[in-house]
């Protein structure tokens, strides 16, 4: 269950610091999309301010400290003008926010936000390559430790699922709201076996037990799949680009 009381308490604490500089408080990600998994998913919050000067940050700090004491992720704090001007370099993140979000207080700043499409492809290719490289590095660091390998796979899975959804957007396929839908739709689009990712999603969501799976076999299939998808998406995007 999404910790709504915890979230509401935090919103009230932020508002108590003085609403004059608060523009918007927005819940986004899995907690807004309906696929939040307690103990696995983060509660993602965007706090938009009129001004991000040091005194205003100091005013917010006690409320944020309380939020962090509840084992929650640090909220994303942006100035309103900064948000508008960041849409070109954070295209994936902001398009993701617009996919699933809920305004907890203040203005709906995302509904009118213009996200340029021309940089989305470049960021998508970069993120896929980076996440694949980081996965390999993590596996080397795990050095065969089963617990570390499980933690790495389950932690990296949401990021790859998100990027798969953005790959679908580049291919003109919209509507993949959940992680599972994104995996299945992209598997159909480019032709790969989604079994390893679906198995990990089942484990992450508590629908299957990790202890019945062979961690090394699953990890090998998972790594092979994300490498295959990264390469295929990269080639398809390059071939569809002007002059490609």
When pLDDT is cut at 50, 70 and 90, the band that residue 172 belongs to is confident
Pair 70, 156 in one domain: no
Pair 91, 147 in one domain: no
**Statement: residue 138 has pLDDT above 60:** yes
**Where among 38, 73, 106 does a domain terminate?**
106
Pair 180, 90 in one domain: no
Residue 113 maps to a domain: no
Residue 158 maps to a domain: yes
Rounded to whole angstroms, the Cα distance separating 199 from 222 reads 10
Quick: pLDDT tens for 200-241: 999 998 899 998 899 999 999 999 999 999 998 888 777 766
Pair 76, 183 in one domain: no
**Residue 185: CATH number of its domain:** 1.20.120
Rounded to whole angstroms, the Cα distance separating 20 from 235 reads 49
Residue 179 maps to a domain: yes
Pair 18, 71 in one domain: yes
**Where among 78, 106, 134 does a domain terminate?**
106
Sheet containing strand 76-79, strands side by side = 76-79, 44-49, 22-28, 101-106
The whole domain housing 81 covers 4-106
Pair 100, 55 in one domain: yes
Quick: pLDDT tens for 78-127: 999 999 888 888 888 898 888 889 999 999 999 998 887 777 888 898 99
Quick: pLDDT tens for 3-22: 999 999 999 999 998 788 99
Residues 6+ away with beta carbon under 8 Å from 5: none
Distance of CA 31 to the CA centre of its chain: 11
**Where among 57, 79, 106 does a domain terminate?**
106
- H or E segment and range at residue 26: strand 22-28
Tell me, what's the pLDDT at 240? Answer: 66
Q: How many CA atoms lie within 13 A of 13 on its CB side?
A: 16
Pair 124, 212 in one domain: yes
Residue 63 maps to a domain: yes
**Number of neighbours of residue 212 by Cβ within 10 angstroms:** 7
Residue 231 · residue 122 · CB < 8 Å: no
Residue 176 · residue 162 · CB < 8 Å: no
Tell me, what's the pLDDT at 51? Answer: 94
Least Cα distance to 218 among 127, 133, 139, 134 occurs for 139
Q: Are strands 101-106 and 76-79 parallel, antiparallel or unpaired?
A: unpaired
Q: Domain count of the chain?
A: 2
Pair 37, 78 in one domain: yes
**Statement: residue 39 has pLDDT above 70:** yes
Pair 43, 139 in one domain: no
Which residues does residue 49 pair with via DSSP β-bridges, in sequence order? 22, 79
**Residue 39: CATH number of its domain:** 3.30.460.10
Residue 132 maps to a domain: yes
Pair 87, 181 in one domain: no
Residue 204 maps to a domain: yes
Residues 6+ away with beta carbon under 8 Å from 16: 63
Pair 131, 227 in one domain: yes
**Statement: residue 242 has pLDDT above 80:** no
Quick: pLDDT tens for 56-72: 999 999 999 999 999 99
């Amino acid at each position: 269950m999404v910790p709504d009381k915890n979230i509401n308490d935090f919103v009230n604490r932020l508002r108590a610091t003085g609403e004059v500089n608060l523009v918007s408080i927005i819940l986004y990600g899995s907690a807004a999309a309906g696929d939040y998994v307690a103990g696995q998913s983060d509660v993602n919050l965007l706090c938009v301010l009129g001004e991000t000067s040091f005194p205003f940050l100091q005013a917010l700090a006690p409320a944020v400290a309380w939020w962090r004491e509840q084992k929650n992720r640090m909220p994303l704090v942006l100035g309103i003008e900064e948000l508008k001007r960041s849409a070109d370099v954070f295209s994936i993140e902001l398009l993701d926010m617009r996919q699933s979000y809920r305004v907890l207080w203040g203005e709906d700043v995302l509904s009118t936000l213009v996200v340029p499409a021309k940089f989305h492809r470049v960021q998508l290719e970069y993120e896929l390559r980076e996440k694949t490289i980081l996965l390999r590095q993590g596996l080397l660091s795990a050095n065969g430790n089963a617990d570390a390998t499980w933690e790495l796979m389950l932690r990296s899975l949401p990021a790859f699922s998100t990027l798969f959804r953005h790959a679908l957007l580049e291919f003109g396929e919209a509507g993949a709201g959940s992680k599972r839908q994104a995996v299945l739709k992209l598997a159909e689009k480019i032709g790969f076996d989604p079994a390893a990712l679906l198995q990990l999603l089942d484990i992450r969501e508590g629908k299957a037990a990790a202890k019945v799976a062979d961690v090394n076999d699953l990890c090998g299939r998972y790594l092979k799949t994300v490498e295959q998808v990264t390469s295929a998406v990269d080639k398809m995007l390059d071939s569809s680009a002007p002059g490609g």
